[in-house]
């Protein structure tokens, strides 16, 4: 009963999603549609998702993305995938979403990197015109596997869209297999992006023993950190890395299911959410890849609540504090805060835990 009530509360809770890779967020239903479009690929759905209780290594997770990339290789696919993903986040109560994706070119279908980003922007605008209740922005992703030249090219592309997308493109993401390449080679591209006004969200210390790279990247400093699993001393990081994060007040994007299923964190109770939350440091609950890991943001909030014993009030504060970590301008933050204030009384009333209420009065 308790779990059900917290679950209901988390669904009703207005939420902010800041760490969502477009291709990893594709749902079961959308994958089915894509498979039907491309029967010649002989792809089975079991190759694209990691179900309840299943775990895969980080390497295996990257294999899953390869399969999804095969399924999404035309403008038409990207448009469908992006509009579906946006609608699904909206249905889950997400009011503000930052999507991220690496622009890809596909020689076979004539897709270019520029068209790739344009198509995602088109999807965002289409959802807006249809009245889908969600504010969506986009981060252009740099895949570290592709090296420094590709990174610079991506930054230049993002700069163009920063000026032409009417505020929809707000920043850069650094992601891809953390064991490939070194962050220091990407510093010039990231520095350039930063100087042009692009916000930076960097996957950092996602795997152990990257102290030197994390230190270099933290010196930029980034505007947000993805995962940061191995930053603190208990996980083989260092106090000086933690101090840099704290000093610059850099919010962390934390994705519980992704880390446990991807086996970088041994169990939910050992997740580094606890470490940073206890420090009072801005920690934003996110999904990473809701499709691949079979989750959604409501479920992630519920997991945090059940694992670390957070009250409804604490969950509310967690979702509200995420507003301060968004990359859209101050006016958007203010609007979202009003929205949260408007919704608060209603949500606490409709999800009132009757069972708890009765037991409390008995006591
Ligand atoms: Zn990620």
Taking a 5 Å cut-off on Cβ, the residues next to ion ligand 1 are 288
Torsion angle, alpha carbons of 214, 65, 139, 257, to 10? -70
- In this model, does residue 362 exceed pLDDT 80? no
Q: Give the C-alpha separation, 174 to 226, whole Å.
A: 9
- In this model, does residue 220 exceed pLDDT 50? yes
The mean-pLDDT minimum among 46-55, 126-135, 283-292 falls in 46-55
**pTM reported for the whole predicted model:** 0.94
Residue 232, classed as helix, strand or coil, is coil
pLDDT of residue 1: 53
Q: How far is the CA of 216 from the centre of ligand 1 (A)?
A: 20
Check residues 317 and 356 and name the one with the higher pLDDT: 317
Q: Give the C-alpha separation, 33 to 81, whole Å.
A: 10
Helical spans, DSSP H, in 130-237: 147-164, 187-195, 211-218
- In this model, does residue 48 exceed pLDDT 80? no
Q: Give the C-alpha separation, 98 to 181, whole Å.
A: 26
Whether the Cβ atoms of residue 72 and residue 81 lie closer than 8 Å to each other:
yes
Question: pLDDT category, 137, cuts 50, 70, 90?
Answer: very high
Give the tens place of pLDDT for each residue, 277-332.
999 999 999 999 999 999 999 999 999 999 999 999 999 999 999 999 999 999 99
pLDDT of residue 47: 73
Q: Which CATH superfamily is domain 2-358 in?
A: Metal-dependent hydrolases (3.20.20.140)
- In this model, does residue 2 exceed pLDDT 80? no
Return mean pLDDT, the chain. Answer: 92
The catalytic position among 17, 88, 98, 206 is 206
Q: How far is the CA of 215 from the centre of ligand 1 (A)?
A: 19
Q: How far is the CA of 20 from the centre of ligand 1 (A)?
A: 7
pLDDT of residue 312: 95
- In this model, does residue 354 exceed pLDDT 90? no
At what angle are helices 330-350 and 312-321 packed, to 10 degrees? 160
Check residues 160 and 354 and name the one with the higher pLDDT: 160
Give the tens place of pLDDT for each residue, 321-351.
999 999 999 999 999 999 999 999 999 988 8
- In this model, does residue 358 exceed pLDDT 50? no
Backbone angles phi, psi at 172, to 5 degrees: -120, 150
Q: Give the C-alpha separation, 132 to 11, whole Å.
A: 17
pLDDT of residue 3: 76
Check residues 65 and 169 and name the one with the higher pLDDT: 169
Q: What are the residues whose beta carbons fall under 8 Å from the beta carbon of 359, sequence distance 6 or more?
A: none
pLDDT of residue 89: 98
Q: What are the residues whose beta carbons fall under 8 Å from the beta carbon of 341, sequence distance 6 or more?
A: none
Q: How far is the CA of 259 from the centre of ligand 1 (A)?
A: 10
Q: Is 206 a catalytic residue?
A: yes
Q: Give the C-alpha separation, 346 to 352, whole Å.
A: 10
Residue 325, classed as helix, strand or coil, is helix
Q: How far is the CA of 139 from the centre of ligand 1 (A)?
A: 12
pLDDT of residue 353: 67
Q: Give the C-alpha separation, 28 to 30, whole Å.
A: 6
Q: How far is the CA of 279 from the centre of ligand 1 (A)?
A: 23
Q: How far is the CA of 141 from the centre of ligand 1 (A)?
A: 10
Question: pLDDT category, 65, cuts 50, 70, 90?
Answer: confident
């Amino acid at each position: 009963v308790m779990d059900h009530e917290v679950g209901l509360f988390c669904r009703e809770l207005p939420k902010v999603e800041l760490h969502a890779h477009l291709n990893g967020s594709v749902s079961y239903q959308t994958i089915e549609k894509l498979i039907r479009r491309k029967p010649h690929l002989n792809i089975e759905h079991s190759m694209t998702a990691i179900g309840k209780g299943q775990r895969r290594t980080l390497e295996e997770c990257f294999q899953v993305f390869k399969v999804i990339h095969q399924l999404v290789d035309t403008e038409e696919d990207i448009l469908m995938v992006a509009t579906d993903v946006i609608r699904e986040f909206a249905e889950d109560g997400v009011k503000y979403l930052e999507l991220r994706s690496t622009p890809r070119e596909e020689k076979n279908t004539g897709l270019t990197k520029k068209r790739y980003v344009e198509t995602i922007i088109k999807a965002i605008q289409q959802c807006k015109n249809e009245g889908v209740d969600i504010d969506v922005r986009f981060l252009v992703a740099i895949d570290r596997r592709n090296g420094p030249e590709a990174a610079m090219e991506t930054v230049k592309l993002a700069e163009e869209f920063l000026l032409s997308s009417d505020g929809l493109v707000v920043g850069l993401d650094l992601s891809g297999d953390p064991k490939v390449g070194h962050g220091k080679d990407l510093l010039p591209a990231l520095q350039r992006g930063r100087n042009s006004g692009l916000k930076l969200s960097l996957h950092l210390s996602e795997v152990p023993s990257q102290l030197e790279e994390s230190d270099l990247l933290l010196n930029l400093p980034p505007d947000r950190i993805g995962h940061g699993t191995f930053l603190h001393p208990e996980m083989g990081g260092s106090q000086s890395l933690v101090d840099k994060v704290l000093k610059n007040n850099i919010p962390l994007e934390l994705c519980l299911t992704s880390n446990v299923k991807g086996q970088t964190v041994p169990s939910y109770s050992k997740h580094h959410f606890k470490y940073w939350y206890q420090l009072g440091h801005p920690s934003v609950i996110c999904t990473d890849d809701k499709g691949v890991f079979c989750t959604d943001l409501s479920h992630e909030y519920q997991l945090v609540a059940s694992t670390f014993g957070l009250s409804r009030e604490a969950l509310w504060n967690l979702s509200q504090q995420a507003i301060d970590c968004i990359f859209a301008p101050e006016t958007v933050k203010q609007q979202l805060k009003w929205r949260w204030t408007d919704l608060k009384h209603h949500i606490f009333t409709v999800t009132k835990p009757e069972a708890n209420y009765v037991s409390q009065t008995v006591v």
